[in-house]
Structure 1
Amino acid sequence: MVVIKKDIIYDENNNLKTDIYFPNDTTSQTKLLIFWHGGGWFAGSKNDVKDLGIKFANAGFMTLIPDYRLAPEFTYPAAHQDSKKFVEWLLDSDYTDDDDQQNIVQIGASVGGTLALYIAGIYGFPTVTWSASVDFSNWVKNHQDVIPSRYGANELKLTNLYDIFESFYKFFVKTYAGKNDQAILKKMDVENYDLSHLGRLKMINSAHELVPLNGVLKFIDFLANNDHEVELLVIKGHRHAMDYAMDYIDESLDFLYQTIKEKKNDQH
């Protein structure tokens, strides 16, 4: 039986809240999982992923699913700032003990995966991303002719799936950036984050989906060149993030379980 505490405020100034899902056997050794929802930084909510919160809690993780400010009202770096504010709140809250930082892991879906990478670079939390967007400036520079649209099939009468993907990708990137400014887009590129504390990382992406795989491979190459450990799982098809989430929950949690176990063994 999962106990859910809803709408716990973690940022009073911006009225930002989190839901917490408690497993039935909560102890002082309970592992904590932060799940970052997707939605292109302009949509999505913690309320959309309640089923995931319950699944994670049933797997033994005290699960926290925070909301963050959304574009176009709040542009970059608002969501990034909120993610860091949330972790600061969590580590200072009654929901964690002094040594709980080593028990925190993350999963992020779509741009939630991007936020998870931002946090992983700062705090070192073991992380799994589902279709994280990582490349913005180069992609926009190389797709000047793409017209941004949330509904490319209806608004632009696009019929090719890749054209629809590209139109939507440009739409949400520009919406969060606030304007087509290469300086802002470069700051949004994950390889330009502070990754000095990046720990174990597993990235899952589809071969032909919304998130351009060449940008992901470029990021993997960047990590390898900087001696960061990373696993990449490329699954076949066109599914994006939540479209395949249920099929890869067990694999994602197994990775996080093993990582926590290895970290504790290393400490001993």
Structure 2
Amino acid sequence: MVVIKNDITYDSEKKLKTDIYYPNDTTSATKILIFWHGGGWFRGSKDDAKKVGVNLANAGFMTFIPDYSLAPEHVFPEAHDDAVHFVKWLLNSNYTDKDDQKNIVQIGASVGGTLALYVAGKYGFPTVTWSAPVEFSKWMKNHENVKPSYEGAKEFGLTDLHDINNSFYKYFTLTYAGTADQKVLKKLDADSYDYSHLKELMMINSADELNPLPNVLNFIQFLADQNLGVELLVIKGHRHAMAYASDYIDESLDFLYQTIKRQK
């Protein structure tokens, strides 16, 4: 039986909260997992990930699912800053022991995966991303004629999946960036983050989905150029992040379990 502790405040000024999912046999040696929800930085919440939280706790992880600031009220880099603030709060809270930084792993879905990359570079937590968008500045240059919308099919009558995805990609990028300024977009690009502490990383993506696979391959080359390793799992089809999560949670957890074994 998973025990759930809801609405624990980690940022009183911004009124940001986290839910905690406890496994049955929590001990001082229990591994901690942070799950970052998706939603394009403009929607989504910890409440949408309850099923995932239960599954992760049942797998033996004390699981934290935090909320973070959403656009358009809060634009880049606020969600990124919130993610780092959450980690600092967690490491200084009563929920962790003094040396628990080595016991923390992450999974991030969609833009939650982008946040997980940002955190992994700073703290070295073993990380799995599900369809994490990684490129924005070049993508925007290459899609100047795309009209942004989170409902391209309804708003513009789009019928082609790629057109719908491109419209949405542009919408959530502009909404969170708050501008089309290339200087801002380049700072949002995942290859602009600090990866000086990056350790174990696995990226899962569908072959043809919202998050373009060529962008992911470019990012992997960027990491390789720095002699940083990454495992990539490309699955068939068009599903994005949570649409395939239940089918690939075992692969994600197997990867994280292996990183835990290597750290012992």
Partner of 2:173: 173
Aligned twin of 1:79: 79
Specify the alignment match of 2:123 in structure 1: 123
Q: Show CA shifts across 1:237-260 (max 9, x none).
A: 000000000000111001001101
Matched, 1:203 2:206: no
- TM superposition shift of 1:30: 0.1
Per-residue CA deviations over 1:98-140 (Å, capped at 9, x if unaligned) read 1110010000000000000000000000000000000000100
Q: CA deviation at 1:88?
A: 0.2
Q: Superposition pairs for residues 187-202 of structure 1, below 5 Å?
A: 187-202=187-202
Paired residue type of 2:100: D
| Post-superposition offset of 1:263 | 1.3
Instruction: Map 1:87-126; keep pairs closer than 5 Å.
Output: 87-126=87-126
State the match for 2:257 in structure 1. 257
CA distance in 2, matches of 1:15, 1:240: 30
Partner of 1:51: 51
**Unpaired segments ≥5 residues, structure 1:** none
TM-score with structure 2 length normalisation? 0.99
Aligned length: 264
SS at match of 2:204: strand
- CA distance in structure 2 between the partners assigned to 1:185 and 1:195 by the alignment: 18
Alignment deviations for residues 182-218 of structure 1 (CA, whole Å, 9 cap, x no partner): 0110000011001110110000000110001111000
Q: Indicate yes or no: 2:41 matched with 1:64.
A: no
**Cα separation, 1, equivalents of 2:212 and 2:250:** 25
> Please, which runs of 5 or more residues in structure 2 have no aligned partner?
none
Deviations 1:29-70 (A, max 9, x none): 000000000000000000001011000000000000000000
Q: Aligned with 2:168: secondary structure?
A: helix
> What is the alpha-carbon distance in structure 2 between the residues aligned to residue 188 and residue 212 of structure 1?
16
Which structure 2 residues correspond to residues 168-247 of structure 1 after superposition, within 5 A? 168-247=168-247
The DSSP-based 3-state class of the residue aligned with 2:195 is coil
Residue of structure 1 in register with 2:33 after alignment: 33
Q: CA deviation at 1:170?
A: 0.3
Distance in 2 between residues matched to 1:181 and 1:30, nearest whole Å: 44
The 2-side partners of 1:225 and 1:139 are apart by: 21
How far apart in 1 are the matches of 2:252 and 2:19?
21
Query: 1:147 and 1:263 mapped to 2: Cα distance?
Result: 47
- Partner-residue secondary structure (3-state), 2:167: helix
Aligned to 1:132: 132
What is the CA RMSD across the aligned residues, in angstroms? 0.4
The secondary structure found in structure 2 opposite 1:129 is: strand
Paired AA for residue 22 in structure 1: Y
| Whole-angstrom CA distance in 2 between matches of 1:149 and 1:39 | 14
Match of residue 155 from structure 2: 155
> Displaced runs of 4+ in structure 1, greater than 2 A?
none
Cα distance in 1 for partners of 2:253, 2:48 equals: 20
The C-alpha deviation readout for 1:73-101, integer Å capped at 9, x for no partner, is 00000100000000000000000001110
TM-score (norm 1): 0.98
User: Which residue is equivalent to 1:20?
Assistant: 20
CA distance in 1 between partners of 2:55 and 2:198 (Å): 26
User: How many Å separate the matches in 1 of 2:138 and 2:213?
Assistant: 13
